[in-house]
Structure 1
């Protein structure tokens, strides 16, 4: 999706170039509602995993902070003694699917976000458009006791025990139209059904949630600069000004973070989300300025990175109240599922 269309989406009102897409948005809304109805009346079946499934997703397209949220949830679960695994769609990957993100797998095969999740979390990651197949592969090949699904809120084929909805505090829901005239995958009312709504930064006053929803603010914290070629930490990128690139859902947030670090930006370049960088994209990039990027971009250019290319490492931080409530609910669900599984096994004839 072009940056211009995304900018139009996140205007407060529907702009005229998008008027022609409204019939398709109406059709999209109808088809999505029919699909949800089929699952609600059991004409389509949802697969129930033997371990707890936690969905981290959103009702808008891209750029809300799901990836750092998933990483932070996984880290917290490990602190509690759980053995988590991650399921992701593998957007941008060529497959074959389902597949495990193992050594030798590239971003082109599995998608950039799963590769990043696997590398930073150290836990098993399985990818596939059909998340049930990916979850089954994960359980078959690894000893895990909880599944975290990255961006699976609308994937009803995989039953879930807990749902975390992510909202971009700055951009909110844009013009509140469904795809393709707006950024919404589902109605904002869908957030009434999730267990928690986390906002990436403070929610702007112009963005309205359903009255019964009480959002919890989380924040992305900077952890320092790293060299792209080997991830070694540096104090600050060298040079008086920098070229900053971003191939993510919300590049403007990243540019703002770079400025907040006190770095003068000479030029910015925006690429599509999940963009597959090539060496030729940088043929005309001068060596006189450092090139700055996100960690998601860094994993895709590492093989041809120059010494003065750097990425900004960030991590999501949650309020203690949310972590306490999340751990209590997940522990209870895990205990109940384990007891049900043991009871089922004990009742089978020997």
Structure 2
């Protein structure tokens, strides 16, 4: 974690020096949100509903596992979901760009590549998410779109908003950038449809405004370790490679991954990297020579030149049945409204 990020989450006193900049940032963000919503002529120009999964903090909170879980649950309910993403840090050959199972992360982005490889769902990236959505719908028969991130991308229409919060870190000092980690003020959470906590919902939501819905808990359950060299998969309990390992995590909160490995009985040598880090082989060559376990998000960037004895630990997002039931009911109602609107437009 950077020095600034560490200060945000321990509420360092010197951050108050940044308060004027934070106040200006908050003002600009609020104006931008109000302006884009005011001048959006048609709030639902797309023929299918859009679920936006995002956050109001800088850094990872667990959005990608939630997107993967939503794809699976929507399919079980009879939907055909597609996904759009900005494609953070990518250099795609062109935009909108369709991410395939064999797309390299430099072109498709680490998180989009992971989503496609795990689910096979159609996924388009473009800094203009509307362009990505239109391209996807032209080429695929999808009846619901999930926007991976994009809570602040107000040009993208949305029918359901889900904000994800890391339960262990919360909102830090609850201040906007640069004094704190927030992209938008805490009051933004009053407007979303669902607030999902990655971990246990805090008993006292001290830094949060009143929420429109009961907070939802999401637990990330580790799956089977799989070999980057194609040696198969093994449950952590059946691991026979020695318990002392190197652990690599280039995610928003690396400590969460290291803690998970410790809980599974591994003796971890921690190697945290920046979120979305791109690796050179020498960066993943460690002493002593031990097995290397990394997040699945990091693994997709290391498939061409994986470290020796490299393994990935996937996680599955476990969601509350009541939340899934209510979300599907909300989605069905919105789908019906859009269908009526579409049929009415065709009749005229």
CA distance in 2, matches of 1:105, 1:221: 27
Aligned partner of residue 31 in structure 2, secondary structure:
helix
Once the two structures are TM-superposed, the CA of residue 240 in structure 1 deviates from its matched residue by 3.5
Which residue of structure 1 aligns with residue 65 of structure 2?
Answer: 68
Do residues 225 (structure 1) and 222 (structure 2) align?
Answer: no
Do residues 53 (structure 1) and 56 (structure 2) align?
Answer: no
Tell me, which stretches of 5 or more residues in structure 2 are unaligned?
Answer: none
- Verify the 8 A CA contact 1:85 1:144 in the aligned structure 2: yes
CA distance in 2, matches of 1:3, 1:240: 29
Which residue of structure 2 aligns with residue 333 of structure 1?
Answer: 334
CA distance in 1, matches of 2:153, 2:242: 46
CA distance in 1, matches of 2:242, 2:195: 41
CA distance in 2, matches of 1:90, 1:15: 35
CA distance in 2, matches of 1:295, 1:149: 20
Decide which of 276, 279, 292 is 1:277's aligned counterpart: 279
TM-score under structure 2 length normalisation: 0.93
CA 1:231–1:125: 2 relative to 1, 3 Å: farther
Q: How many residues align?
A: 342
The range that moved more, 220-229 or 209-218, is 209-218
Once the two structures are TM-superposed, the CA of residue 9 in structure 1 deviates from its matched residue by 1.6
CA distance in 1, matches of 2:141, 2:57: 33
Please list the CA deviations of residues 289-338 of structure 1 after superposition, one character each: whole Å capped at 9, or x if unmatched. Answer: 11111000011111111451111111001111111111111112112212
Which residue of structure 1 aligns with residue 9 of structure 2?
Answer: 10
CA distance in 2, matches of 1:58, 1:240: 35
The range that moved more, 138-147 or 102-111, is 102-111
Do residues 22 (structure 1) and 19 (structure 2) align?
Answer: yes
How do residues 98-137 of structure 1 correspond to structure 2 at under 5 angstroms?
98-137=96-135
How do residues 119-268 of structure 1 correspond to structure 2 at under 5 angstroms?
119-205=117-203, 207-208=205-206, 209-213=208-212, 214-230=214-230, 232-234=232-234, 235-236=238-239, 238-265=241-268, 267-268=269-270
CA 1:45–1:94: 2 relative to 1, 3 Å: farther
Once the two structures are TM-superposed, the CA of residue 42 in structure 1 deviates from its matched residue by 1.9
Q: What do you get for the CA RMSD once the two structures are aligned?
A: 1.9
The range that moved more, 302-311 or 118-127, is 302-311
CA distance in 1, matches of 2:298, 2:222: 16
- Verify the 8 A CA contact 2:101 2:116 in the aligned structure 1: no
Tell me, which stretches of 5 or more residues in structure 1 are unaligned?
Answer: none
CA distance in 1, matches of 2:341, 2:230: 46
Aligned partner of residue 159 in structure 1, secondary structure:
coil
Please list the CA deviations of residues 158-215 of structure 1 after superposition, one character each: whole Å capped at 9, or x if unmatched. Answer: 1111111111111000011111221101111111111111111113356422234421
Which residue of structure 1 aligns with residue 85 of structure 2?
Answer: 88
Which residue of structure 1 aligns with residue 302 of structure 2?
Answer: 301
